Structure 1
C-alpha cells in the first residue's frame, strides 16, 4: 500500500454505488495523475458527491475498485491525512467553539501546527481573522478558512467540493488563481462552469450516475452530449 511519500496516482475502476434501488454511480472510471487538476461536473443528483465519498471511504462501492499508485486501495476516512489527501466540504464545517487559528491547526502537522496554520491563513488572505471565531465571520471569509485548513497539511491530493458556492466574481477569480498555483493534484466538484473551464486540465461529466464525457475543457465544451445536458441547447 502507498504511503504519503509514495502517492503518485489515484484511479477509480468501474465504480458502481447503489442505495437500495437507486444507482448513484454506474461503472465510473477515472484516473487522476499527479499534479493534474481534474473537474467533476453534472447536475444535482448526478453522483459527484457520492464519487468524493467513495474516495474518502465514507461510502463503500457496490462493485469496482480503487488504486493508489497502481496498488489496490480501500480508503478509510481516518487514514486520509496520513496519505496526503485533504477535502473541503460544500458547507463550512468549522468548530464554532474554536478560533479561526485553532480550526486551521486541526489540519496542521502537530510539531509546527501554529506556524503552519498562520502561513495557510496568510496564503488564503485571512490571517487577520486568526483570533476571531468563524461563526461571526462572513460566509466568503469562512470559505477561505475552510480552504486554509485543507491546504495547511500540504496535501498531495486536494479535493474541493463546491468551493465557489456563495462567492462573488472577484472571490472566484482569486480562488481560481489559488487552485492553479497550489502545485498539487486537485479534484474539483463545481457548478461554476467558468471556474471549471479556466483551471482544469481534464473534466469528467456525470449524468444520472453515468460518465457521459471525459476530456479537456475544449473537448467538453464541444461535446454535443454535454451541450445538450448541461447548457440547455440541442445537440
Structure 2
C-alpha cells in the first residue's frame, strides 16, 4: 500500500466528530453506565474494552450488552429504545461536563484553514448535541459546514451522511479525504469513495476485518501532520 499523499493535494476534508475531534467517548461510556445502573446492572468493561465494542456496528455492540445482561434483553429486547434512554442521559451530561479536543485537532484544523481548505464535520450526533459543544472551542469556526443526524436518512456505516456533505462542496470533480475513529465510519467513507483515514490511538488494537483493507492508519493528528 502506497503512502498517503500530501494533505495539500486534497480539496475537501471530512471529519467524524465524537471520539475523533472531541473527547466525548468518556461521556458516552458514563451514559451507558448510568442507563444500566438504573436497573442495578454494572458494566464490567473498562474504557478501552467499551470503545472496542462501541466503535463496531450498532448490532454488534447491542448483542455484546445483551450477552452480558440477559435480563436486560428480557426486560426490553428493543435496543433502539434502550439507546434512546442512554442518549437522553448523555444529552444532560453535555450540559454540565466540558468536552476537550482530541490530540492534534486544533493544529489540524488551523493547518487546513491556513491553506484555505474546505472542512466538513459529518456525524451521527444530533444538532442539539453539536450546539452544546461548538461554543467550547473557537477553532470550530474553521469548519465550513456541519452535517448532523437530522440531515440524512441512514446512519453510518451507510454513506448517506458523507454523500450529503459532499453535495455541499461546489467544485466538481474534487479530491476528498475523510477521517474516522470507528469501523462503521470507515465503511461509510469507503462507500462514499472518499480516501479513508483511521485515527487509532496508540494502545488500541486494530480489529481484523476486511473493511479496513486499504485504509491509512495514524495514531493521532499530530502524527499525520508531522509527516506532511
TM-score for both structures, normalised by structure 1: 0.29
Higher strand share: 1
Higher helix share: 2
TM-score for both structures, normalised by structure 2: 0.30
